[in-house]
Amino acid sequence: MTTVDGVRRLPVPPKPRRPKAMLIGWAIAAVVVAAHTVAWETTGISLGALVDGWRGMADFLGEAIPPDLSWKVLGPSLDAALVTLWIGLLGTTLSVPISLLLALLAARGTAPAEWVYQAARAVLSFLRAVPDVVFALIFVTAVGLGPFPGVLALVCHNVGVMGKLWAEALEDADPGPPQALRSAGANRVQVAAHALLPSVLPQLAGLLMYRFDVNVRSSLVLGLVGAGGIGFLINQSIKLFKFDEMLTHILVVVVLVVAVDRLSAVVRRRLSEGDHA
């Protein structure tokens, strides 16, 4: 022990070693590497096969380029793109009432009882777990081909996703205004309508616009299974080996997705600015 200007300097203790933590870290790393190795072998990933298939890809692109931009192809493609947009729009907006109800029942601050909370969470988990494509196949067999089963499929899946997102937003809301109303004797409905929902409305609207963006993209895939829209034309072009028409439809899809993405981003930014104002 030494002193400097009368002040004692104690030795710096050695950094404690944590062999148990290091062992756990190495074990986790080994599990991750093993899982990726099994996944690589199971999925049959082969970079050699990808390189050897360049000729087939070149032939495919050669038949697709240039795209067929004649009005005979472009006109129906634009009409189908609008149908895809309407499927995504209705699939989003028609799910709002059910999503809001389940979100209120699946948030701890607004659920009337624990069993109601657990039941609402279970319903949301089920709707979220079943892919929208599976819902589309079910509704196609029920109501036939066309945009209608696509709308129903998006509504079911979107309720599960948006209900969960909204429930989490409600649980993360500022507890001050709801507590003030409860202390004044307000019931759960009054607290939700006059304090909780107004405080999180910008977040709910932003999540709604995000889901609209996602649903428009999802409606493209639903068209591949007969749920209407431009996805149906893409699937039909591939089956008929009309790859130049397929590329035309894909270009229209790109324009549609970019436009919806920009619109959704602008609305979410305005909502964010209004929330911070």
Name the pLDDT band for 2 (thresholds 50, 70, 90): low
Residue 3: pLDDT over 60: no
Higher pLDDT, 160 or 227: 160
CA 170 to mean position of chain CA atoms: 19
Give residue-wise pLDDT tens across range 161-215.
999 999 888 888 776 667 776 677 666 676 777 667 777 788 888 888 888 888 8
pTM attached to this predicted model: 0.77
CA 96 to mean position of chain CA atoms: 15
H-type alpha helices, the chain:
19-42, 47-52, 54-64, 71-93, 96-105, 114-129, 132-143, 147-171, 176-183, 188-191, 197-223, 230-239, 243-276
Residue 273: pLDDT over 80: no
What is the C-alpha separation between 200 and 177, in angstroms, rounded? 12
Residue with token string 């298939």: 53
What is the C-alpha separation between 193 and 189, in angstroms, rounded? 6
At 69, the amino acid letter reads L
Give residue-wise pLDDT tens across range 100-110.
999 988 888 77
Name the pLDDT band for 263 (thresholds 50, 70, 90): confident
pLDDT of residue 34: 93
- For 70-276, CATH number out of 1.10.150.20, 3.40.50.620, 3.40.50.300, 1.10.3720.10 equals 1.10.3720.10
Higher pLDDT, 4 or 171: 171
The residue ranges of every structural domain in the chain are: 70-276
Contact 256, 219 (CB under 8 A): no
At 197, the amino acid letter reads L
Give residue-wise pLDDT tens across range 10-55.
666 666 666 777 788 888 999 999 999 999 888 888 777 777 777 7
Q: Which residues neighbour 145 within 8 Å (Cβ) at sequence distance 6 or greater?
A: 226, 227, 228
Give residue-wise pLDDT tens across range 141-159.
888 888 899 899 999 999 9
Which of 38, 6, 228, 195 is closest to 110 using CA atoms? 195
